[in-house]
Structure 1
């Protein structure tokens, strides 16, 4: 038998008034549905506006043949987190200090400063801007380039994206990007290297883009290039041509991504928004992909 949910509801409107419903029955795709999901469904199905508080009451489930197409809720994987967790002592790049994450005001020390039964924590973070998964703006390479506060928000968020499979490559050349629609897109390079994150193996012999690939991406007019490797450049020497070429063309760079194997080839949006700092060209971000609901 199929599953149905039976419930009452009470909805208040922000501009006054409200509506109630009793003994509603709704076909559902699974065995259960949360109150929040039910509330969202009712609001959408009834095309309600100005909705405030929603109460779902007396909810229970029955097994009964579906009367119409059951509710299929959006997948929780709609947003894919592409960032590593930053923690106290994390080494992102050898030679750079690890972040120090501690209390500025601990919960214990806050007791007595507020009303009885209330406590707070205020954290303190000391770190270099190249920590965790981070984004590079032109100021990172060029003294007169745009810093985090000067790059427009549209350059960080909701970029049409494409995923490049480079999991078997060390040097990622032009051939990985040819015959593809990449103009005005975020180009996300999946090397599979993130599996080595927070290990000694992560720092040595990592995949990187070649100078020629960077020039090709620049000439094609891409918006952003991301990679799940230790660096987008070859770090075995002192030259950083990919940073120089891309940032010189105001093409943003995101390094130390992860979970790229969860991305489709195309048809998704990429976002990596940093704080709006003046005088800083690099900062940690929490990039994510927005996948199509289809």
Structure 2
């Protein structure tokens, strides 16, 4: 069973070959996947790879190299799970700021399903279109976890978020943010804290503005997991 504690999460880096029953094959080198525990057999890893990629007509998988790595889960498909416990994570930090459209209705920023993009350890921790392409974005709060304070989104990624109807965009980074998002009326929250405590799946975000606050908009942001 998986765990939401990032200190207890494991991933596996491996090389593999997938052979298809209708001909052809697929090879991976240095591929990484989340695993639910601290170990995994070659057979289980082969099945996990097939589920993650959504492969059909697979005849066999062969794992040629495997290395276990302790690091937070990134959200590999096919590894979804919950420990069944409801957890509330406060994401508001000292640097949390918001760019909110005028007249924002509360239902547009609370109880939103989360699409989590983890870029920790990436050579360039900035989400582009490809980083978002596999995610469900419409009506979701898109959280980009970078571990840095710089830009976290390319202009092209912002275009995709607007095109696909993201409800809110947020990050632990502090920007700058592409101008397209506020122009399109998409709420943006930056400088979040504790994103490493979020599980890859099954989280809902609440960003509650302080009514009548002077100066830049202020919000209290928290996430609820395990419901």
Do the aligned residues in 2 keep the contact of 1:232 with 1:255 (CA within 8 Å)?
no
- What RMSD in Å do the two structures reach over aligned CA positions? 2.1
Count of aligned pairs: 142
Match of 1:247 in 2: 182
1:24-71 Cα deviation digits (max 9, x unpaired)? xxxxxxxxxxxxxxxxxxxxxxxxxxxxxxxxxxxxxxxxxxxxxxxx
Match of 1:288 among 205, 222, 226: 222
Deviation track 1:126-159 (CA, whole Å, cap 9, x = no partner) reads xxxxxx3122113xxxxxxx1xxx1101012111
* 3-state secondary structure, aligned to 2:209: coil
1:79-98 map, 5 Å = 79-85=88-94
What SS class does the counterpart of residue 154 from structure 1 fall into? Answer: helix
Q: Is the 8 A contact 1:84 1:133 kept in 2?
A: yes
Alignment correspondent of 1:212: 156
SS in 1 for 2:217: strand
- Which consecutive residues of structure 1, in runs of 5 or more, have no partner in the other structure? 1-73, 86-131, 139-145, 194-201, 234-241
Report if aligned partners of 2:127, 2:144 keep a CA contact under 8 Å in 1.
no
- Which string of whole-angstrom CA distances, capped at 9 and with x for unpartnered residues, describes residues 189-225 of structure 1? 01022xxxxxxxx5xxx24211111011110100000
Q: Which moved more, 1:212-221 or 1:262-271?
A: 262-271
Which protein has greater RCO, CA pairs closer than 8 Å, 6+ apart? 2
Q: 1:135, 1:272 within 8 Å by CA — same for their partners in 2?
A: no
Structure with the greater alpha carbon radius of gyration? 1
Cα drift, residue 230 of structure 1: 2.1
* Secondary structure class of the residue paired with 2:208: coil
Q: Which residue of 1 aligns with 2:104?
A: 151
TM-score by length of 1: 0.45
Matches within 5 A, 1:130-209: 132-138=95-101, 146=102, 150-167=103-120, 168=122, 169-193=124-148, 202=149, 206-209=150-153
Aligned counterparts of 2:181 and 2:151: Cα–Cα separation in 1: 17
Distance 2:97 2:209 in 1: 8
CA shift in 2, pair 1:162/1:170, >3 Å = closer
CA deviation string 1:93-122 (max 9, x = no partner)? xxxxxxxxxxxxxxxxxxxxxxxxxxxxxx
**Where do 4+ consecutive residues of structure 1 move more than 3 Å?**
none
Instruction: Indicate if the aligned counterparts of 1:162 and 1:267 stay in contact, CA closer than 8 A.
Output: no
Alpha-carbon offset, residue 279 of structure 1: 8.4
- What residue in structure 2 maps to residue 196 of structure 1? none
SS at match of 1:162: strand
Query: Quick check: 1:162–1:186 contact (8 Å CA) kept in 2?
Result: yes
- The Cα of 1:289 is off from its aligned counterpart by 0.4
Q: CA deviation at 1:266?
A: 2.5
CA contact (8 A) 2:210 2:220 kept: no
Aligned partners of 2:89 and 2:212: how far apart in 1?
26
Structure 2 gaps, min length 5: 1-83
C-alpha separation in 1, matches of 2:176 and 2:152: 5
